[in-house]
């Protein structure tokens, strides 16, 4: 699927010059969980450690139209969380029988 000239026809509007994926990723970076610990008694520390996966897979449905927003809303949070590799899967084009 090609979007010839889509960038030149896209209105800038409220989004400015940055892509929508930039805004989605920025939001998820700002709300990212961080590792925390607390000393509940002398010498007793409890907490949790936040570590991203090294690789994740996401599914982006195709249907009659492509859904780039699904790709943005699944890939951007993973990248913001620190995932090194994101594998995107989608269905075949046309009948699957």
pLDDT above 80 (res 65): no
Interatomic CA distance for residues 78 and 28, integer angstroms: 9
3-50 tens-digit pLDDT: 555 555 555 555 555 677 888 888 888 988 889 999 999 999 999 999
Q: Please report, for the chain, the start and end positions of each structural domain, with discontinuous segments joined by +.
A: 6-89
Q: What is the reported pLDDT for 62?
A: 80
Model confidence pTM above 0.85: no
Q: For residue 76, count other CB atoms closer than 10 A to its CB.
A: 22
Q: How confident is the model at residue 71 (pLDDT cuts 50, 70, 90)?
A: confident
CA 90 from centre of chain? 16
Measure Cα distances from 37 to 29, 40, 53, 62 in Å.
Answer: 21, 9, 21, 43
pLDDT single digits (tens) 39-61: 999 999 999 999 989 999 999 88
């Amino acid at each position: 699927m090609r979007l010839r000239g889509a960038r030149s026809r896209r209105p800038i509007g409220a989004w400015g010059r940055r892509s929508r994926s930039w805004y989605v990723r920025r939001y998820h970076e700002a709300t990212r969980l961080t590792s925390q610990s607390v000393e509940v008694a002398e010498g007793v520390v409890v907490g949790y450690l936040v570590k991203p996966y090294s690789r994740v897979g996401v599914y982006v449905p195709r249907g009659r139209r492509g859904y780039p927003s699904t790709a943005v809303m699944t890939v951007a949070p993973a990248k913001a969380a620190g995932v090194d590799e994101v594998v995107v899967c989608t269905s075949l084009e046309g009948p699957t029988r």
